[in-house]
Amino acid sequence: MTGVRALILWLALTLLPLTAARATDPRLVPDVSSRAIDIQYSFTGEELLLFGAILYPDQRLPDDRADIVVVLKGPVRPIVLREKRRVAGIWVNARSIRLRTAPSFYAIGSSRPIDRLVDERTAAIFELGLANLSMSPTGFSEAKTLERFEAGLIDLYRRAGLFVENPSAVEITEGVLYRARIPVPARVPVGTYRAETYLISRGRVLAVASRDVQIRKTGFERFVARAAEEHGFLYGLSAVLMSLGLGYAASAVFRRR
């Protein structure tokens, strides 16, 4: 019994500092305006509201108010990037590189610029900012080549509205409530998205919380997408027959004229 009591006392003394430390850390209570976004034929884009509260221990706000960073990240997928070069007046594919983990959508908003909140190492660990996205290539690639291809992908997705970076998107009220609007473009890919919230103070990430958001096709668009995915051969054959039918109908109309 003495050994058991000694073990219990040792565990209590060991876990007490950890419990006290956790009790002094603030917590995040996040939410999103919509847990599901439906894409129909008339979908032209939407704004997703990320909001929530910062819960401080004993409801005491610190002298140094914390900052908030929100990230909406789409499904990760492999992608092949090809570089085009002009040869004899014709644009042809030159070099190519395959990335294992390229996000299909990435939007980040913060209460202040990221470089004023955390150092480069912390930003890289949590992938805060477009420059810190982890897109590991398959096979060996030179650092300069990889940087060039990644910069091209970021520029392409930024112009398509799939990569967004806004250093003033987050509004914090009374040091407790926060909100940020993230634009979701019409060409957004479907899948499960993760809305992440980071609480940052004095260069440290104090808390992280997340919510899932489903972006899905509905109605006729969903039927077409499922048909293409589950019955690829029949879908392709139907598309070819439909194109031939429309072409024949158009030629018949012009012949009558």
**Residue 92 within a domain:** yes
> Are 123 and 114 spatial neighbours (Cβ–Cβ below 8 Å)?
yes
- Shared domain for 72 and 196, answered yes or no, is yes
- Shared domain for 137 and 230, answered yes or no, is no
- Shared domain for 240 and 125, answered yes or no, is no
- Shared domain for 232 and 212, answered yes or no, is no
**Residue 6 within a domain:** no
- Shared domain for 213 and 227, answered yes or no, is no
- Shared domain for 173 and 70, answered yes or no, is yes
- Shared domain for 232 and 146, answered yes or no, is no
pLDDT tens, the chain, 257 aa long: 444 444 443 444 444 444 444 556 788 999 999 999 988 877 888 999 999 999 988 777 776 788 999 999 999 988 888 877 777 667 776 777 888 888 999 999 999 999 999 999 999 999 999 999 988 777 766 778 888 888 888 999 999 999 999 999 999 998 899 999 999 998 899 999 999 999 999 999 999 999 999 998 875 454 454 544 554 555 566 656 666 666 666 666 566 65
CA angle 154, 157, 162 (to 5 degrees): 120
- Shared domain for 123 and 234, answered yes or no, is no
Instruction: Give the DSSP per-residue string, 43-108.
Output: ---EEEEEEEEEE-GGG---SS--EEEEEEE--EEEEEEEEEEEETTEEEEEEEEEEEEEES-EEE
- Shared domain for 124 and 231, answered yes or no, is no
Specify the number of domains making up the chain.
2
- Shared domain for 104 and 123, answered yes or no, is yes
CA 255/CA 222 separation, integer angstroms = 37
Instruction: Count CA within 13 A, CB hemisphere, residue 68.
Output: 30
- Shared domain for 128 and 85, answered yes or no, is yes
Tens of pLDDT, residues 108-138: 999 999 999 999 999 999 999 999 998 877 7
Structural domain containing residue 199 = 23-217
> Torsions phi, psi of 230, nearest 5?
-90, -25
Tens of pLDDT, residues 43-59: 888 999 999 999 988 77
Structure token pair of residue 218: 């509905």
Residue 191: name the closest of 78, 79, 103 by CA.
103
DSSP letter (8 states) at residue 188: P
